[in-house]
Amino acid sequence: MAIAYLNGKIISSNDPVLPIDERGHQFGDGVYEVIRVYNGRVFMMPEHMERFFKSAEAIKLNVGKSSEEIMAIVDDLIERSGLQDCDVYMQATRGIAPRNHLFPNVPASISMTVKPSKHVNEEVRESGAKIKLLPDERWQNCWIKSLNLLPNILAKQEAFESGALEAVLIRDGYITEGSSSNFFIVKNGEILTAPATNHILHGITRIAVKEMALELDIPFREQAFTSDELLAADEAFLTSTTQEILPVVEVDGQKIGNGKPGEVVKKLYELFLEKM
């Protein structure tokens, strides 16, 4: 059963609970995480907690709870939901106060939902995804998991309307990441992905891929690459908590490699399935 939490109360995810003067709602003034639960086990929770608190600190937001307290709430919600495979969404905002750009002196609002996991369409997982390249119009602090996702939403919608699953973004001639994923290519057996600078979200699944590449003895290089390098790649794939590791086979109508999911991404996903 889907379940939700707001500032200490367990609620139904359909309850109308949001006060008008809530800063997440009015300003997008907050940060969030999306976490996956496999077989009742929260996947890579320490990494998610570290990123959550780093994001909060970056926007000068005092969450008002420790990482242990947040984890205890998550565990309790998962248990109450009775779900084994689910997605946890959590966000912290700068609280409830009359609308004013300046920081209010009120406690942060913390809300969460636990819902059954969304799964990637089986056919897309089998045959690979299509993507669309679009300009990266976001701000300079993409490493902060901020609630402000307007450029991401607009890019994803444009990609979707063109028949692609994901928008992959280009800044100053180099590919950064997807609108809601990190992006990788494979060339001559080596994995390449944009370095973890301020221009990308430091994805948790990206960390998992880096660790698995080491385990599988596959060279892994964090180096920016261009759309020409993408088109000349042998394989491409994207990663995110909800999409896991997903092969990409077509960019703006052009095939990558032989147009089929490659061996490297298959190996990574097989190992990922063992770890989840």
Q: Which residues are catalytic?
A: 145
CB-nearer residue toward ligand PLP: 96 or 164: 164
Helix (H) or strand (E) holding 57: helix 45-58
C-alpha span between 141 and 25 (Å, rounded): 20
Stretch touching ligand PLP by CB under 6 A, among 74-82, 102-110, 154-162, 176-184:
176-184
**Quick one: which segment of 11-19, 24-32, 174-182, 226-234 binds ligand PLP (CB under 6 A)?**
174-182
Nearest-angstrom CA–CA distance, 68 and 71: 5
Coil, helix or strand for 132? strand
At 153, the amino acid letter reads I
Q: How far is the CB of 102 from ligand PLP (least distance, A)?
A: 28
Q: How far is the CB of 110 from ligand PLP (least distance, A)?
A: 19
- Does residue 13 sit in helix, strand or coil? coil
Which of positions 56-85 make contact with ligand PLP (CB under 6 A)? Answer: none
CA 216 to chain centre: 24
Tokens of 9: 């109360």
Expressed in angstroms, the distance from the first to the final Cα of the chain is 22
Alpha helices, DSSP H, located in 82-164: 122-127, 150-161
DSSP string, 77-88: HHHHHT-SSEEE
Of 112, 191, 192, 201, the residue at the interface with ligand PLP (CB under 6 A) is 201
Residue nearest to ligand PLP (CB): 203
Residue 177 binds ligand PLP (CB under 6 A): yes
Minimum gap (Å) between residue 142 Cβ and ligand PLP = 7
Using the rule CB under 6 A, which residue among 55, 81, 109, 182 binds ligand PLP?
182
d(CA 224, CA 30): 29
Interaction between residue 204 and ligand PLP (CB under 6 A): yes
What residues pair up with 185 in beta bridges, in sequence order?
A: 192, 236
Nearer to ligand PLP, 7 or 67 (CB): 67
Stretch that binds ligand PLP, among 11-19, 156-164, 201-209, 256-264 (CB under 6 A): 201-209
Nearer Cβ to ligand PLP, position 130 or 138?
138
Does residue 241 interact with ligand PLP by CB under 6 A? yes
* Best CA proximity match to 90, nearest among 200, 2, 206, 4: 4
Smallest gap from Cβ 179 to ligand PLP, in A, equals: 6
Subset of 39-58 contacting ligand PLP (CB under 6 A) = none
Residues that bind ligand PLP in the complex, under the rule CB under 6 A: 34, 152, 177, 180-182, 201, 203-206, 239-241
